[in-house]
Amino acid sequence: MTRFAYFHDDFCPIDDARVSIMTHSFNYGTGCFGGVRAYWNAESEQLLVFRLRDHMVRFLNSAKLLMAQIDHTPDSLAAIVLQLLGMEAWRENSYVRPIIYKSDERLGVQLHDLHDGLAIFSVPMGRYLSGADAIRVGVSSWRRIDDLAIPPRGKLIGAYMNSALIKTEAVLNGYDEALVLDQSGHVSEASAANFVMVRNGTLVTPPRSANVLEGITLDALLEIATQKLGLPLEMREIDRSEVYYADEAFLCGTGVQIEGIGELDHRPIGNGGVGPITAQLREHFLRIVSGQDPDYVHWVTPVPIHEHALM
Ligand code: PMP
């Protein structure tokens, strides 16, 4: 079956969506990307995209950091994503990757006076949730990139070298993930997920100024926690050692969704398993993304069936 991509302002077979080795973005990391999940609801036979418009807003915000000139609105991008998913006709959980990149085939490190391309593809992606098992995390020896070096609030391609260093060190040292400190030594986030802990029934997460990505899953979970579970929330600096004292902690993001942290630096968090608040949040989250929570149907967009899917 043909797979599709959006490339050069149109849909095409994915094998035709290729760039030259001279492409600016390939040489210098001058691009930005997004990552959106779509959940297959087997009962209604619908693919539901989670917070599509919000992801497109953040994608275009990342593009601002790049000074990208792109003739699109969040809604026009969302329409392309829906059409692509309709053409791909996934009947399983999947993931959409939109990219804006400096497309000129020339050298010279800069952002201005360059053309910007838009490319979008999608892949099947399972749930990745480790279920009852909590993950093992170690503090990274790498620091999070700083807003004054490479702004981490956007998803800039070059910035993910930092994430790659962090993830590889963590996995080769036997952990599932890393917790990363910022230049001031306070908790920032994981390699590609935001961090939240629970202390005495209060949710605590670093402020946006802690060099974190402005996570959409985090935003969703904080809303669920405050609105549905009535939990208080603090956004403040977190010391490394305060996490050792936490009752619960979890990572959240489009890829990981929500993963309970069982231990940090070989010290158990809470009782070492997925905490009760984390488990409750996960339950609400999975109901919402599969379109089963009437309070949050505005967060999911069904993919219209496309004519390709019927052939
Ligand atoms: N931080 C980083 C560095 C990430 O790459 C991601 C994944 N996009 C997140 C946090 C989580 O953000 P979101 O929930 O919007 O996917």
pLDDT at 2 over 90: no
pLDDT tens readout for residues 123-141: 999 866 666 699 999 999 9
Q: Are strands 177-181 and 135-143 parallel, antiparallel or unpaired?
A: parallel
Binding site membership of 257 for ligand 1 (Cβ less than 6 Å): no
Q: Are strands 233-235 and 94-102 parallel, antiparallel or unpaired?
A: unpaired
- What pLDDT band is residue 14 in, cutting at 50, 70 and 90? very high
Best residue among 217, 221, 256, 289 to mutate for probing ligand 1, ranked by most atoms within 8 Å of CB: 217
Binding site membership of 177 for ligand 1 (Cβ less than 6 Å): no
| 119 C-alpha to ligand 1 centroid (Å) | 19
| 139 C-alpha to ligand 1 centroid (Å) | 18
Tokens read off for 245: 């004292």
Q: Are strands 46-50 and 36-41 parallel, antiparallel or unpaired?
A: antiparallel
Q: Are strands 257-264 and 135-143 parallel, antiparallel or unpaired?
A: parallel
Q: Measured over all CA atoms, what is the biggest interatomic distance in the chain, rounded to whole angstroms?
A: 58
Best residue among 95, 194, 258 to mutate for probing ligand 1, ranked by most atoms within 8 Å of CB: 194
Binding site membership of 114 for ligand 1 (Cβ less than 6 Å): no
Between CA 197 and CA 149, with CA 184 as vertex, the angle to 5 degrees is 110
Tokens read off for 188: 């920032």
- Within 10 Å of residue 178's Cβ, how many Cβ atoms? 25
Q: What's the predicted TM-score (pTM) here? A: 0.96
Q: Which residue puts its alpha carbon closest to atom 9 of ligand 1? A: 193
pLDDT at 121 over 60: yes
| 207 C-alpha to ligand 1 centroid (Å) | 15
Atom of ligand 1 nearest to the CA of 155: 5
- What pLDDT band is residue 306 in, cutting at 50, 70 and 90? confident
pLDDT at 308 over 90: no
Beta-carbon contacts of residue 135 (< 8 Å; ≥ 6 apart): 176, 177, 251, 259, 260, 261, 262
pLDDT at 310 over 60: no
Mean pLDDT score of the chain, rounded to an integer? 96
pLDDT at res. 128: 63
In this prediction, residues 107-114 reach a mean pLDDT of 98
pLDDT at res. 47: 97
Closest CA to 245 of 209, 211, 204, 213: 204
| 116 C-alpha to ligand 1 centroid (Å) | 23
Give the separation between CA 123 and CA 304, rounded to whole angstroms: 18
pLDDT tens readout for residues 253-297: 999 999 999 999 999 999 999 999 999 999 999 999 999 999 999
Q: Which residue puts its alpha carbon closest to atom 4 of ligand 1? A: 192
Place of tokens 């629970």: 198
- What pLDDT band is residue 92 in, cutting at 50, 70 and 90? very high
Could you give the dihedral angle defined by the CA atoms of residues 296, 126, 167 and 234, in that order, rounded to the nearest 10 degrees?
20
Give the separation between CA 302 and CA 304, rounded to whole angstroms: 6
pLDDT at res. 126: 85
Binding site membership of 192 for ligand 1 (Cβ less than 6 Å): yes
Q: Which residue puts its alpha carbon closest to atom 11 of ligand 1? A: 253
| 209 C-alpha to ligand 1 centroid (Å) | 15
In sequence order, the β-bridge partners of residue 46 are: 41
Closest CA to 255 of 120, 162, 163: 163
pLDDT at res. 1: 79
Beta-carbon contacts of residue 279 (< 8 Å; ≥ 6 apart): 260
- What pLDDT band is residue 233 in, cutting at 50, 70 and 90? very high
